[in-house]
Amino acid sequence: MNAATPDPSETEALLAALRLQLDWGMDEALAEAPLDRLAAPPPRRAAPEQVSSAAPAPGAALAPRAARRAAAPSLPPGAPPPQPVLAAAGLAAAAHSLEALREAMREVPTPLRDTATNLVFGDGNPDSGLMFIGEAPGGDEDRLGRPFVGVSGQLLDRMLASIGLDRAAEEPARAFYITNILPWRPPGNRTPTDAEIAQFLPLVLRHIALVRPRHVVMLGGVSAKALLRAKEGITRLRGRWHDLALDGAGGAGTLPALPTLHPAYLLRNPAAKREAWSDLLLLRRTLDGDSPPSRK
C-alpha cells in the first residue's frame, strides 16, 4: 500500500476514539497543541556542580506542601462568606422576577461561563407548586439551554409521567418546574466544586423564593446536601421529607423538601429504581393530601 494513502482501519479507529471522547463529555481542549505521549522524554539536565553539603532537615521535603496548606486555611465557623458568594447574594437580592434572576445569573463572574454554551435556567410551569432541583447541566442541556433534556432527563420525565406529572401540562396540578444548582455546565460534566455550589446557592434559594413552590424535590446528593446543609449522603437523606430553610433569600420559614436519587445515577444503577419509585409514591401521596409530609 502506498505510504501516502491512509489505512482505512486506522482512520476508523481514530474516528471511534473521537466518538468515545465525545460520549464521555471530552469536548474541550486544555492545551493549544496536542501532546505526543509516545515521544521520548527530554534529556535530563546535568546536576549542578556545587551542592550544599548540609543535610536537609527532617521533613523538609514536606515543607512546600505544608506551606500550601497554611496559605489557604479553611474558614473557621462563623467566618463571613468569601467575596464571590457575597457578590452573588447581592445579585440574588436585587432580582425581583424570574427574568431578572436569569440576567443576574449571567452576571455572576465564574470560569464556567467561559466554557459553557448556554445558560440553563429553568423549564416547566413555575405556577405548578412543585419544583425539582438537580445538580448541573450536561452536554445536551448546555446545547439546548434547558434542564434535564438529555437521556437522564428523559428517564425522569417517564418516571414522573407514571405518577401523573408532566412538565408541559397546562393544568398546574399536573405540571412541575425544574432547574439546577448550577446554571452553567461544568467542563466534561464533572461534579460541581464546593466553591461553585457556594457561589450559586444564594441564587438558587432566590429562585425557590420567586417560584414559591409548595413542595421541593432535590435530585441527587449534590442538590440535597447543598440545600439542606447536610453532611449525610443521598442514600441516608432520601425517603423522607426535610425542612428547607429560605430565610435570607427573600422568603420566610421552611418548605417541605424531598431528596431522591438522580436519574443519571439510576441509569448507572438500575437496581436503585426501586428506592426511587418509593420516593415517587411518597411524593404522589403527599400531593394528593393522603400523606402529610412528616419532616426532619
Q: What is the full DSSP assignment across 9-51?
A: HHHHHHHHHHHHHHHTT--S-SSSS---TTSPPPPPPPPPS--
Q: How far apart are CA 110 and CA 112, in angstroms?
A: 5
| 83-287: CATH superfamily | Uracil-DNA glycosylase-like domain (3.40.470.10)
Q: Is 259 helix (H, G, I), strand (E, B) or coil?
A: strand
Q: Is 260 helix (H, G, I), strand (E, B) or coil?
A: strand
Geometric angle at alpha carbon 58, from 56 and 62, rounded to 5°: 90
Q: Is 239 left (phi over 0), alpha (psi -120 to 50) or beta?
A: left
Q: How far apart are CA 144 and CA 185, in angstroms?
A: 12
Say what the pLDDT of residue 169 is. Answer: 95
| Strand bridging mode 130-134 / 254-260 | unpaired
Give the bridge partners for 259, in sequence order.
218
Cβ(190)–Cβ(24) under 8 Å?
no
Taking the CA atoms of the chain, what radius of gyration do you get in angstroms? 24
Say what the pLDDT of residue 249 is. Answer: 65
Say what the pLDDT of residue 132 is. Answer: 98
Q: Is 258 helix (H, G, I), strand (E, B) or coil?
A: strand
Q: Each residue's pLDDT tens digit in the chain (296 positions)?
A: 455 566 777 777 777 777 766 766 666 665 556 666 566 666 665 544 444 444 444 444 434 433 333 333 344 454 556 788 999 999 999 999 999 999 999 999 999 999 999 999 999 999 999 999 999 999 999 999 999 999 999 999 999 999 999 999 999 999 999 999 999 999 999 999 999 999 999 999 999 999 999 999 999 999 999 999 999 999 999 999 999 998 766 666 899 999 999 999 999 999 999 999 999 999 999 999 976 566 65
Say what the pLDDT of residue 247 is. Answer: 73
Say what the pLDDT of residue 15 is. Answer: 77
Say what the pLDDT of residue 57 is. Answer: 46
Q: How far apart are CA 134 and CA 62, in angstroms?
A: 40
Cβ(193)–Cβ(202) under 8 Å?
no
Say what the pLDDT of residue 7 is. Answer: 75
What are the distances in angstroms from CA 14 to CA 5, 9, 21, 178? Answer: 15, 9, 11, 39
Say what the pLDDT of residue 9 is. Answer: 72
Cβ(241)–Cβ(258) under 8 Å?
yes
- Is the entire prediction scored with pTM above 0.85? no
What are the distances in angstroms from CA 192 to CA 102, 143, 197, 222, 226? Answer: 20, 19, 7, 8, 11
Sheet strand arrangement including 130-134: 123-124, 177-180, 130-134, 215-219, 254-260, 242-245
- List the domain boundaries for the chain: 83-287
